[in-house]
Structures are given as C-alpha cells and as structure tokens.
Amino acid sequence: MSAQLIDGKKVSTEIKKQIREDVENWVLAGNRRPFLKVLQVGNDPASTAYIRAKTRSCSEVGIDTDTAHLPDTVSARELKSVIRSFNNDDSIDGILVQLPLPSHLSSHDVIESIDHRKDVDGFHPMNVGRLSVDQPTFKSCTPAGIFELFKYYSIPTKGKHAVVVGASNIVGTPMAVMLSRENSSGKATTTICHKFTRDITIHTITADILVVAAGQPNLIKAEMVKEGVVIIDVGINRIADETSEKGYKLVGDCDFDSLKKKASWITPVPGGVGPMTVAMLMKNTLLAAKKSIYPEE
Ligand code: NAD
C-alpha cells in the first residue's frame, strides 16, 4: 500500500481564502476589522518563527495584528497586568500568549489570566471545559485543524479506534476529547498514550487512526502500526542538518518514509498539521470578533 498524502498546506490555503471572504464581508457590513494581539516573552527563535507565520496568515486573511514583547525576566505580576490591559481593551478581539514561557512563569496561571472570550488559542480552562461537554467554544487550534483535515478528505472517525500519543493540554488531551465525544466530532473509541505508557506499540498496532504529538523524532515506525492506518503526525522537531542553510531541518514524530508504505493516509512534516493550526487560529479570531461563541449580553 502507498499512503495518500494529507496536504495541510493546500487545505489551509482554501480555508484561509474562505476566512478572508468572511472577514471582508464582516468589515463591509460596517464592523471593525478583527484584531489579534500577540504577546511574546523573551526571544526564543522557534517562538519568533511561529509568531512570524501567524502574523503572515493574519495579513493573508485581512486580520489586523501586532506583537508586544516583554523581556524573559518579566515577573508574573507584570505579565498578568499587561494581559489585563489587553482584556480590557475593546479594540482587541483575540489574545495569544506564545508558549513556552520562561520557566519561572506558570503557563496555567498566565492562560487563566486571559479573558476566556478572547482566548483564541482555546487553552483557557473555560474553553477546554466547554469542549469536554460539547458546548460552543474556541477549540484548541491543532485538534480543530486535524478535524478539518478529516472532513476535507472524508476520513471517517466514527466507531474507529483512535490512538493519541502525547497527552499535553494543548494538543494530545483536547485531540483525545474531540475524538472520543459520542455526540459531536469524533465518535471514536480513543486511547491516550503518554510517557508513562509501558509499551505504546500494544496500542499503536491496533489503531485505525494514529495521532502523534510527543515531540520525539522517529518515535513511530512502520512495525508499530497496522496496514491501512491513518497517520496524523503533529510533531515538529528541529534536527541538525548540515546540508541546509539554516543548519537544521524539521521532522515529525513518525518515520514518514517507512510509514507511507503501510498507511492509507499520512500527513507530511512540514506541510501537514502545522498550517492547519494557524488557519484555525484565524478562524477563532474571526469568531471572537463576531462574538459568536460568547454573545454580548
Ligand atoms: P509536550 O512536550 O507538552 O507533551 C508531549 C507529550 O508526549 C506528553 O504527554 C508526554 O508524556 C508524551 N510523550 C513524550 N515522549 C513520549 C514517548 N516516548 N512515548 C509516549 N508519549 C510520550 O508537547 P506538545 O506541546 O503537545 O507538542 C508535541 C509535539 O507537537 C512537539 O513536537 C511540538 O513542536 C508539536 N506541535 C505541533 C503543532 C502543530 O501545529 N503541528 C502544534 C503544537 C505542538
């Protein structure tokens, strides 16, 4: 078998085109252009690259944005006071605090200080909780993007065995929640593996759909899956590459070359899940501007 490629770049371009039209119609109807405020603490190069991709997408879809910078020595109190000022600023629709934060700051604490009505990443406990009980919410962007890929390529999840490797708050856990809900989204029987799972192969080998978000290059190899599996590789890992100008290349968590011979569908890295995550951020920002999730009283 040779897997069909799930082209996140193509699908995200189509979704962003639709978002651009929706944004222009919103503005033509007399509304202010949506505005996304990004906050970067410190100057981690990977974070800077992610923010660049997000702000580029904003300009593609017609969403205004700017990035505030704080030094990596900022105190929790100072950071939260800046976030509070964004919460209270009516010209800001969405707030994104780029993660990870320096180790002296608690990301839980910082995320909770964002007004959940502006939490376009979908990381605030209010939005995560609403996701778990099938209420309208800002869905965490990466799982939401993966569901758009399932929809686009008509990949069924209902009744399937889905295995998620990785249980982080921002990817693995919301992905497993969305896959497992019986009244919305996934309707799949779902297994979550994490670093304490004794033998992940026992689980991955039975997966109809395998979503991998562990941040471990080459974790999943062909002998760990069954013929016809759908592989969604969320991992983005920088590994040294002397042949590249940058000195590194990006790889996922899955051994693409061996898996593509066994899977029915597979996402590449880059160009798979990554661009979808950014497209969903654009979607959530427009939803925030329209007050679609949390209507004004
Ligand atoms: P994280 O470090 O917060 O969580 C990693 C999870 O993987 C943990 O639950 C851990 O227990 C599990 N894990 C680690 N090693 C394991 C192993 N050997 N076996 C089983 N489980 C293992 O990471 P995260 O923020 O969820 O990100 C995961 C990966 O996805 C990273 O490479 C990150 O760069 C990437 N990512 C990609 C996108 C995207 O849009 N494509 C978005 C977010 C994160």
Give mean pLDDT, residues 37-51.
96
Summarize pLDDT for 63-92 with one digit per residue, the tens. Answer: 999 999 999 999 999 999 999 999 999 999
The ligand 1 atom nearest the CA atom of 273: 41
Residue type, 295: P
Residue type, 36: L
> In the prediction, which pLDDT does 164 show?
99
Distance 231 CA to ligand 1 centre (A): 15
Instruction: Estimate to the nearest angstrom the gap between the alpha carbon of 183 and the chain centroid.
Output: 22
User: How far, in Å, CA of 250 to CA of 35, rounded?
Assistant: 30
Q: Residue 297: pLDDT band by 50, 70, 90 thresholds? A: confident
Closest by CA position to 170, among listed 215, 216, 200, 204: 215
Q: Residue 151: pLDDT band by 50, 70, 90 thresholds? A: very high
Threshold 0.85, pTM exceeds: yes
> In the prediction, which pLDDT does 185 show?
84
Where do the domains of the chain lie?
29-115, 141-275
Of 236, 276, 282, the residue with max ligand 1 atoms within 8 A of its CB, to mutate for a pocket test, comes to 236
What percentage of residues in the chain have a pLDDT greater than 90?
A: 98
Distance 48 CA to ligand 1 centre (A): 19
Summarize pLDDT for 156-210 with one digit per residue, the tens. Answer: 999 999 999 999 999 999 999 999 999 888 999 999 999 999 999 999 999 999 9
> In the prediction, which pLDDT does 93 show?
98
The ligand 1 atom nearest the CA atom of 172: 26
The CATH superfamily label for domain 141-275 reads: NAD(P)-binding Rossmann-like Domain (3.40.50.720)
Summarize pLDDT for 219-269 with one digit per residue, the tens. Answer: 999 999 999 999 999 999 999 999 999 899 999 999 999 999 999 999 999
266: which strand partners? 5, 231
Summarize pLDDT for 276-285 with one digit per residue, the tens. Answer: 999 999 999 9
Residues with a known catalytic role? 54, 98, 121
| C-beta of residue 34 within 8 angstroms of C-beta of residue 95 | no
Do 29-115 and 141-275 share a fold?
Answer: yes
Give mean pLDDT, residues 49-75.
97
Summarize pLDDT for 253-263 with one digit per residue, the tens. Answer: 999 999 999 99
Summarize pLDDT for 6-26 with one digit per residue, the tens. Answer: 999 999 999 999 999 999 999
Q: Which residues contact 194 (CB under 8 A, 6 or more apart)?
A: 165, 166, 167, 172
> In the prediction, which pLDDT does 198 show?
98
3-class state of residue 75 by DSSP: coil
Residue 1 has pLDDT above 80, yes or no: no
Q: What is the CATH number of domain 29-115?
A: 3.40.50.10860
